[in-house]
Copies of this chain bind each other. A is one copy, B any other.
Amino acid sequence: MARYSQEHKDATRRRIIETAGRRFKQDGLDGSGIATLMADAGLTNGAFYAHFDSKDDLVATVVGEELGRQAAEFGELPPGRAGLEAFVHEYLSPQHRDNPDRGCPSAALLDEIGRCTAATKQAYTDGAQAILDEISARLAPEDPGSARGTALSLFTMLVGAMQLSRAMADKELSDAVLAEGIQSGLTILAATSTS
């Protein structure tokens, strides 16, 4: 089976990227091998190198794709500040906690990204800036730059709280982390609502 059209190759590449995104977020960057990942995508290991130079190349691509998607998803939220409140509730939900494969790449992978290649860190950096831009623009539409600090505070708190809730051995404690995180998130939003 071979010699397909460019659209077919693009579709296969996209399928690998999306499968890898799910697996990486579920099992970690080191916890997902190429062979398993390709089998998940309905292919064999050898085909991988028709699409990517190396695993590092895939990681950088996936990280860029995941963060770009997350930034774009802000467009689906209710407009303005209300959208951020909805985001806080969705982000710190049990569904998000229990399904990392469909969730935030930062919550699943951020400490590992700090140990990755320069290309991966660059892809992450670009994507994170886009996300912080989205948050800032909703906090202070007339002067987004002034809300950078608040946006960063909200984002890092959410990421830390989700990681913490996933690390809790006890479900009640984990739920409490989510609930208190939501309160903190809304407080951070409220603290700037008059500006």
User: Which residues of A approach B to under 8 Å, CB–CB?
Assistant: 27-28, 30-31, 100, 106-115, 118, 121-122, 124-125, 128-129, 148-150, 152-153, 155-161, 163-164, 166-170, 173, 177, 180-181, 183-184, 187-188, 191
Interface-centre pick from A28, A153, A167 (highest chain B CB count, 10 A) = A167
* Closest partner residue, chain B, to A126 (CB atom): B169
- Contact A111/B163 with A118-B169, A169-B125 known, Cβ cut-off 8 Å: yes
> In the bound complex, do residue B124 and residue A167 qualify as a contact, i.e. CB atoms below 8 Å apart?
yes
Interface-centre pick from A110, A122, A181 (highest chain B CB count, 10 A) = A110
Query: Majority SS of interface residues in chain A?
Result: helix
Q: Hey, which chain B residues are within 8 Å of A113, CB to CB?
A: 167
Smallest beta-carbon distance A193→chain B, Å: 14
Q: Hey, which chain B residues are within 8 Å of A155, CB to CB?
A: 160, 164
- 3 closest residue pairs by CB, A with B: A156-B160, A114-B166, A160-B160
> In the bound complex, do residue B153 and residue A115 qualify as a contact, i.e. CB atoms below 8 Å apart?
no
> In the bound complex, do residue B109 and residue A111 qualify as a contact, i.e. CB atoms below 8 Å apart?
yes
Q: Which of B150, B169, B184 contacts A124 (CB 8 A)?
A: B169
> In the bound complex, do residue A160 and residue B110 qualify as a contact, i.e. CB atoms below 8 Å apart?
yes
Smallest beta-carbon distance A35→chain B, Å: 17
Other than the known A106-B164, A109-B111, A124-B168, what 5 A-B pairs have Cβ atoms closer than 8 Å?
A28-B30, A112-B112, A125-B173, A149-B183, A156-B163
> In the bound complex, do residue A111 and residue B114 qualify as a contact, i.e. CB atoms below 8 Å apart?
no
Q: Hey, which chain B residues are within 8 Å of A121, CB to CB?
A: 167-169
Q: Which of B148, B164, B170 contacts A110 (CB 8 A)?
A: B164
Q: How far is the CA of A188 from the CA of B111 in the complex (A)?
A: 23
Q: Which of B152, B164, B191 contacts A181 (CB 8 A)?
A: B152
> In the bound complex, do residue A128 and residue B187 qualify as a contact, i.e. CB atoms below 8 Å apart?
no
Q: Hey, which chain B residues are within 8 Å of A173, CB to CB?
A: 125, 129
